[in-house]
Structure 1
């Protein structure tokens, strides 16, 4: 149902350069994969960071390495096997209910052209009262929404997802 593209961020590695946050994201996607919600995962690497190819290979992910984000995302989308793409920041740990809620939303038929946002768990009193102010950790959108003009960053992907609905579940950011 979903092709997942994991977008590594510079802060996704710990002080020793180990990609612990990325590993937590990949591990959190396993239940959704077992449920059949996540069909394939692509790991993007942008720039001159330490290679993540070994991690992608061990995790059974596709691996895309490019100098810039637009080219990496375009290759990731081109290699996706599903009409729906879940773009998620490395370090994001979706809740256990993510797979079930995403499947329910997609099976229920989203309005044409609508996207789904996965927000981080509220971290402050303000975001507890107004969850729509919590940062976006991931976005599910139709593949054709990413096929147009290139996205220069994860924030551009989120902007391209408008109009969107927020999933009831939240994610923990471990960056």
Structure 2
């Protein structure tokens, strides 16, 4: 069982000048759509008992409370990613954390692959990086160039990281690529 932590991206337009109100609304709508699409993709995993709870993490300007209320999950608003993740840890109570960037959804077979990692003990001592789809032709050959989209890691290892940004957590838990498990960019 795992806790889902969805990282909502900050936007340069969010919280901008009053004259850029239209740009701010567009940026907020894009972040909200990315967040909702990611959350909805994990409903079947929650029904299977794979996801225990979900926590949204993002900057204060994007009003995560509205989405969290409708989705039935917790939310944390913080100015930095590391602060938000640190505040999400007490709300995420499962033995494993699945930290995913908003706008990514799992491909077919995701739940079974994650269950195998958890069931056979492969996820007890280290973390696993899940990458998105290759966007450029070179990324199809050199898959390590693809941006990491999610991290599966034991909660106990994550709690020891002082400034738990996505990158710092991946390093601290000695995350390895979870080959064969991909996430697709939807927003």
Aligned: 1:45 with 2:74 = no
Aligned to 2:84: 72
CA distance in 1, matches of 2:10, 2:34: 11
Aligned to 2:7: 7
- What are structure 1's unaligned runs of at least 5 residues? none
Aligned to 1:27: 40
Aligned to 2:140: 128
Give the conservation status (yes or no) of the 8 Å contact 2:123–2:154: no
* SS of equivalent to 1:15: helix
Aligned: 1:104 with 2:120 = no
Match of 2:97 among 85, 89, 100: 85
CA offset at residue 151 of structure 1?
Answer: 2.9
CA offset at residue 112 of structure 1?
Answer: 4.6
Aligned: 1:138 with 2:150 = yes
Aligned: 1:147 with 2:156 = no
Q: TM-score of the superposition, structure 1-length normalised?
A: 0.88
* SS of equivalent to 1:87: strand
CA RMSD in angstroms comes to 2.2
CA offset at residue 111 of structure 1?
Answer: 6.2
CA distance in 1, matches of 2:164, 2:38: 22
Match of 1:36 among 49, 56, 73: 49
Quick check: which one's helix share is greater? 2
Q: TM-score of the superposition, structure 2-length normalised?
A: 0.83
* SS of equivalent to 1:49: helix
1:78-132 deviations in Å (ceiling 9; x for gaps): 1212110001111111113211110111101116522111110122222212323
- What are structure 2's unaligned runs of at least 5 residues? 15-23
CA distance in 1, matches of 2:81, 2:4: 16
Larger radius of gyration: 2
